[in-house]
């Protein structure tokens, strides 16, 4: 959530984390031992977080559909999802697994090929899985304190960021 809120990725974005701030050191190692640096980078440095699908665009109504998706290759088979404005969803897709997503953004929303244009692409799993982010870009949080707090708690629950007992009584 920190990465998606800070960098606000648009379209289909694979997310990674440097496990222990190893990348700068591997860059230096690669000048001498290119293959060894690559192997350490790929196997030990990167934490594959998953894929974020986040259309660019804004809506005025909370119930507006931002995008419809069909994802094939999940353990449960093929699924169809609809994401509404301000909504975040999380799908399980394990690290090392791949699936194919057909993304149909609503008019006024763009996932990489232009507003309203369908995109079919391979997506990667990871520690988090696949995040469907219907909050739009640029990201705007509600101005009202209670509404903002409620939305943040909703998103944290969906993404399973904190144990539920830490979120109880917070509404």
Residue ranges of E strands in 3-147? 11-18, 46-54, 65-74, 77-84, 88-91, 98-105, 119-124, 129-133
**Alpha carbon 30 to chain centroid distance?**
30
Residue 35, pLDDT above cutoff 70: yes
Work out the average pLDDT over 118-125: 97
Residue 17: which of 38, 44, 46, 50 has the closest Cα?
46
Average pLDDT, the chain: 92
Poorest-pLDDT segment among 15-19, 61-65, 69-73, 152-156 = 61-65
Q: What's the pLDDT score for residue 164?
A: 86
pLDDT of the residue at 169: 57
pTM summary value: 0.88
Across the strands, what pairs with 168?
none
> Does 43 or 89 have the greater pLDDT score?
89
- Give yes or no for a cis peptide into 138 (omega within 30° of 0): yes
What's residue 64's pLDDT? 93
What are the tokens at 70? 């069909």
What token pair was written down for 159? 């993404």
**What percentage of the chain exceeds 70 in pLDDT?**
98
pLDDT bin (cut points 50, 70, 90) of residue 10 is very high
Contact residues for 160 (Cβ-Cβ < 8 A; gap 6+) = 90
**Interstrand relation of 77-84 and 119-124 (parallel, antiparallel or unpaired):** unpaired
Predicted local distance difference test score (pLDDT) of residue 60: 83
pLDDT in tens, 45-98: 889 999 999 999 999 887 899 999 999 988 778 999 999 999 999 999 999 999
Full DSSP string of 123-135: EE--SSEEEEE-S
Rounded average pLDDT over 21-27: 91
């Amino acid at each position: 959530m920190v990465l998606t809120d800070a960098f606000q990725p648009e379209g289909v974005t694979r997310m990674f984390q440097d496990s222990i701030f190893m990348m700068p050191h591997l860059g230096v190692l690669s000048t001498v031992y290119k293959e060894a640096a690559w192997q350490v980078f790929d196997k030990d440095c990167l934490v594959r977080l998953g894929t974020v699908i986040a259309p660019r665009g804004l809506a005025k109504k909370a119930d507006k559909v931002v995008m419809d998706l069909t994802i094939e290759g999940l353990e449960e088979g093929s699924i169809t999802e609809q994401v509404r404005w301000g909504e975040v969803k999380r799908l399980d897709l394990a690290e090392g697994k791949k699936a194919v997503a057909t993304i149909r953004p609503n008019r006024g929303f763009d996932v990489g090929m232009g507003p309203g244009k369908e995109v079919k692409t391979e997506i990667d799993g990871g520690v988090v899985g696949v995040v469907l982010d219907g909050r739009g870009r640029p990201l705007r949080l509600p101005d009202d304190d209670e509404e903002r707090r409620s939305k943040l708690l909703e998103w944290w629950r969906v993404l399973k960021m904190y144990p539920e007992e830490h979120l109880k009584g917070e509404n």
